[in-house]
Structure 1
Amino acid sequence: MQRRFVQVDVFSAVPFAGNPVAVVLDAEGLTTEEMQAITRWTNLSEATFLLPPTTPEADYRVRIFTQSRELPFAGHPTLGSCHAWLDAGGRPAGDDVVQECGAGLVRLRRDGERLAFAAPPTTRSGSVSEEDLAYVCDVLCLDPSEVVDAAWTDNGPGWVTVLLASSEAVLAVRPRVALDRETDIGLAGFHPSGGEVALEIRGLFTDDQHVLREDPVTGSLNAAVAQWLIASGRAEAPWVAAQGAVLGRAGRVHVSQDADGQVWVGGASTTVVTGTIRA
């Protein structure tokens, strides 16, 4: 069966500078095993599969896969899937697009030329134990004294984030690669004030062989980091975060907060590949 298939570059207004996601638009009838196999075949960090919603409150349902597992939520796949759904003729029932995923219902809205999603609540937050921080520092090849602060910023993937003294310190980190357990680490550091970009972000995760890899641009991490930094008084929205420089990318993540305190995370998306996939 031929199914509509696109690849969308997320968090970039031009191709090849953001983070790509593969989207299968007609995924009804595919099994979980088939979705995982397709995701592995794309060799991208994530692929998504659009399905009819199971609740009248949602406009569509999405399942999100990495190379090794299914995720309840992820940021750049959410934006890329919504971009693909709208491009394919999808029309929301209300003012916002409502996406159904493993984490529940996620609202998306247009923010000028960009799409933005409402950051979901974190499933784990708060301080990091000395034991966990020691492990993270060992992975990052950092001395604990170099860490300004650390917190759980888990909204699905499992992030724990360390705040370093500067954006330069974030970009200078060279982590270990071969690990002995599943690990998802965020890095954050502020740029000098007054520039276009306020924050430098890096997202590191392990594959199914426990090899540490770097994600080009990570919406879920930026969302949870924003919630942490705003709640702790370390930052005030709006701001723009940069991510992907170490990989030769130029991702830009736009963070804002509305009058109700809801954090929104957005960015530009660009369709790069359009076609069909036999599945």
Structure 2
Amino acid sequence: MTAELRFAQVDVFGASALLGNPVAVVVDAEGLSDETMARFARWTNLSETTFLLAPTNDAADYRLRIFTPGGELPFAGHPTLGSAHAWLEAGGVPKTEGVVVQECAAGLVELRVEGDRLAFAGPPLVRSGEVDESTVERVARSLRIPRSDVLAAEWVDNGPGWLAVLLRSADEVLALRPDFVSMGDLHVGVVAPHTTGHEADFEVRGFVPGLGIPEDLVTGSLNAGLAMWLIGSDRAPQKYVAAQGTALGRAGRVHVQHVDGRYWIGGQTRAIVRGTVAMPADAVTGRS
């Protein structure tokens, strides 16, 4: 016997369909155990799989749990956008028109509709400041670049553990061929400006080998942390576009805007797969 749960696979941040980062969303996730969620996330083998649940906070519209193949995350950006898209498409009605409030392990995350895009407000950093020199040297070794190529390094951690390094040019970012064994459990974001005339202002790459994701396709949480660093240090304007996924054959476009002290991270969301997932009935509490 199986339980049929509504399911969607949503492409997030793509400049057009199939060029972003997919997230698997189980819409009817009530009753699933932690182990079932983790096992299903390993089975999808996507960077993240999410599970929509009833909120426990009265201010929230829904609660979200986020799993990578290697474990659970308190927050992640592209799963937040993709899950909000799936929730709305499945008939979810926000308490406040035009505003969706997600509850997750990192707290409440506000989202808004921006035309044909969704955007989330970047959560506060749990760790910030300059990265110590020994860690920067380790990062440079793992990226296979001279230490002198790193112009600056900063903790931009809003939950997943990100640290970021700034290089001189987008070409240098795209040329990276990291040593993931050396990188180990570090979650490394790399950013550099594009030359004038490119449709994006910055090129971004995110490496998380410790979570079973050598390189993430397009990363909302990283871009949220980067926005706080780059805009806060006057390295970026109040509004810009970041490209990510280029090195992997994708065309991610992350739209960043700083308004009234909040950092909004937006992008296109498109449901590519809709249907049901068959879970073993005994894996879903209260169903048979």
TM-score (norm 1): 0.96
1:178, 1:212 within 8 Å by CA — same for their partners in 2? no
Matching residue of 2:271:
271
Q: State how far apart, in whole Å, the 1-side matches of 2:238 and 2:14 are.
A: 20
2:66, 2:75 within 8 Å by CA — same for their partners in 1? yes
- Residue 103 of structure 1: which of 103, 106, 113 is its match? 106
Matching residue of 2:55:
53
- Residue 191 of structure 2: which of 178, 188, 191 is its match? 188
How much has 1:193 moved relative to structure 2?
Answer: 2.9
1:162, 1:186 within 8 Å by CA — same for their partners in 2? yes
- Residue 44 of structure 2: which of 20, 27, 42 is its match? 42
How much has 1:27 moved relative to structure 2?
Answer: 0.3
Q: State how far apart, in whole Å, the 2-side matches of 1:124 and 1:178 are.
A: 24
1:152 aligns with 2:155: yes
Cα-to-partner distance string for 1:148-207 (whole Å, 9 max, x where unaligned): 111001111111100000111111111113247312000000011343210000000014
- Residue 22 of structure 1: which of 15, 24, 38 is its match? 24
Local SS of the residue matching 1:178: helix
- After superposition, residues 88-237 of structure 1 pair within 5 angstroms as 88-95=90-97, 96-179=99-182, 181-207=184-210, 213-237=214-238
**Amino acid aligned to 1:238:** K
TM-score (norm 2): 0.93
User: How high is the sequence identity, in percent, across the aligned residues?
Assistant: 55
Matching residue of 1:4:
6
Matching residue of 1:67:
69
How much has 1:239 moved relative to structure 2?
Answer: 0.7
Cα-to-partner distance string for 1:41-68 (whole Å, 9 max, x where unaligned): 0010100000000011000000000001
Q: State how far apart, in whole Å, the 2-side matches of 1:180 and 1:116 are.
A: 31
**Amino acid aligned to 1:76:** H
Q: State how far apart, in whole Å, the 1-side matches of 2:41 and 2:8 are.
A: 13
Q: State how far apart, in whole Å, the 2-side matches of 1:168 and 1:14 are.
A: 23
**Amino acid aligned to 1:47:** T
Q: Which runs of 5+ in 2 are unaligned?
A: 280-288
Q: State how far apart, in whole Å, the 2-side matches of 1:160 and 1:93 are.
A: 35
**Amino acid aligned to 1:48:** T
**Amino acid aligned to 2:22:** P
**Amino acid aligned to 2:83:** S
2:12, 2:22 within 8 Å by CA — same for their partners in 1? yes
Q: State how far apart, in whole Å, the 1-side matches of 2:111 and 2:234 are.
A: 26
Local SS of the residue matching 1:41: helix
2:120, 2:265 within 8 Å by CA — same for their partners in 1? yes
How much has 1:212 moved relative to structure 2?
Answer: 6.4
Aligned residue pairs total 276
**Amino acid aligned to 2:215:** E
Q: State how far apart, in whole Å, the 2-side matches of 1:76 and 1:175 are.
A: 23
Q: State how far apart, in whole Å, the 1-side matches of 2:240 and 2:186 are.
A: 28
